[in-house]
Amino acid sequence: MQLNPAYTDVVREVGEFFSERIRRLSDCGVGREQLMLDPGIGFGKTVEHNLQLLGTARSFTRFERPLLLGVSRKSFIGKLLGAEPAARLPGALACACLAVAAGVQIVRAHDVAETVQAMRMTEAILAKQNA
């Protein structure tokens, strides 16, 4: 999975995976209110796949479930920016802020204080944009 990720259309395929899993879980008696969705950034995906998922994260809001995104210190940031894990905070913050703007409600972070501050700033700007 990690060595040779293969998707024809990663965004469509992740969306189809979500639809199928929501349906299966519902059939097993799991209520939608018990679900959150995570597109799996970094898991079996290339740098390009991750960028596509991040760039279209808003498309997953159609499932009307909380979205979780884990981008903190991910290797795709390192590959794209040539940064070791300890130096990936700026890239992770950029991803987190764009995710908030796209409707992601939960962001997993190593650098919690910095991420919270960046997200609060993003939310304050977005609130004025939509005012």
In this prediction the pTM is: 0.90
One-letter amino acid for residue 33 of the chain: E
Is 79 an active-site residue? no
Helix extents (H) in the chain: 10-27, 47-55, 75-81, 89-101, 112-129
pLDDT band at 4 (very low <50, low <70, confident <90, very high): confident
Q: What are the CA-CA distances from residue 6 to residues 35, 43, 54, 74, 77 (Å)?
A: 26, 12, 18, 19, 20
Question: Count of alpha carbons within 13 Å of 57, Cβ hemisphere only?
Answer: 28
Mean pLDDT score across all residues of the chain:
94
Q: What are the CA-CA distances from residue 9 to residues 3, 40, 61, 95 (Å)?
A: 18, 15, 18, 21
Q: What share of the chain has pLDDT > 70, as a percent? A: 97
Q: Which of 21, 32, 79, 108 is catalytic?
A: 108
Q: What share of the chain has pLDDT > 90, as a percent? A: 91
DSSP code for 9 = S
Question: What would the pLDDT profile of 72-88 be if each residue is shown by its tens digit?
Answer: 999 999 999 999 999 99
Q: Which of 45, 73, 74, 88 is catalytic?
A: 74
Question: What would the pLDDT profile of 101-128 be if each residue is shown by its tens digit?
Answer: 999 999 999 999 999 999 999 999 999 9
Rounded Cα–Cα distance for residues 103 and 69 (Å): 11
From the centroid of its chain, how far is CA 1?
A: 19
Is 74 an active-site residue? yes
